[in-house]
A and B are shown apart, each in its own frame.
Chain A
Amino acid sequence: MNLRRDVFQAIADPTRRAILLLVASQAMTAGAIASNFDTARPTVSKHLQILTECELLKQEQTGREIYYHLNPKKMKEVADFIEPFRQMWEARFNKLETIMKKYKHK
């Protein structure tokens, strides 16, 4: 079961984060979301599919249209988690290691 990892992969992508932010302000159809991006429509659909699969977005049928909503419960779970913080330290320490390896060889 790698659902947890999938959620973090989902938010690691800048376009998908942008989609989450758009939908956070109001529920939107796939077409309305896609019109905010230069990206091809099928690419946006793929992003929506990934976000829906990991439950960050929920679909709701209104008449003939499907609207995408943010799932605040899932978002909170992600935001509470320490992974982005850990990645920040990982990047910082990687830099330290690279710089000090070069320093050694001077």
Chain B
Amino acid sequence: MQLTHLRSYARPTDLDSAVDLLREGGRGTRLMAGGSDLVLSGSNEITGLVDLGGLGLDYVEERDGAVAIGAMTTLTDLLESPAAAAYLDGVVPEMLRRVGSPLLRNVATVGGNLVRKQPWSDVIPLFRALGASFTLFDGEERTGSINDLYAEAAHLKGSILTEVVLPRQPAGVAGAFWKFTRSAVDVAALNCAALIQTENGTCIRARIFVGATPRLAAAVPSAEAALVGTDLSTAAVAAAARAAADDVSTGDDLRATAAYRTRLVPVGVTRCLEDAKRRLEGATP
């Protein structure tokens, strides 16, 4: 849809200029990553765009076991990158394959997805479960845990997300992602991302996120607690699933009812955790 009120468009080649343009632009100016959400909005409120495509932020690099992802990396480029394939048994490309279609993934960016905070986002719960960190630039660089981006008090105005890093994981760690959709190409009616870490057969760390409830993914501490200290047996997984069913609040939207989502939560959490267990044991599902 045409952005009929667009008056200015700039494609800066350095971060300082980008920040300046954003500040000078005022209320109607937006940062543009892949641009799909902005263009599809057809919004009359958008009067200026600062295109981040000229800043060299599209890269995927393996850095000593960690995976550094420039914010302007398309979902396709991340999906196809060898670094992502090698990280935690390819859990990231597996998730990305469920996001939209190749036509969408060729345009949508990792940074755009993280910042846009669509409640059905699949990238956000998995990256949070993996313990990603971010780098922002607002004249200065600052880094932090990705969880800070989704905290109540997150102040992102006037700053540009430049990079996300999936941290190097020690041995005994596996990640998993599960998504429920009505049809093959659809945003999630419910999703779940998990990371588990074991030592000598005992779970010492668990991160579990459930999203598209229809709200944006949130951690489920009771489910995580139900796993830590256990041997990840079927009973332990079931306990985590039950805890999630109790604690995750769901709502109605046109994709699913709250009641259905609530029934799905334990199923999704179980499947996600079983998948993670299989990966720990070395078999790819």
Q: Do A and B bind each other?
A: no
Q: List the interface of chain A (C-beta within 8 A of B).
A: none
Q: List the interface of chain B (C-beta within 8 A of A).
A: none
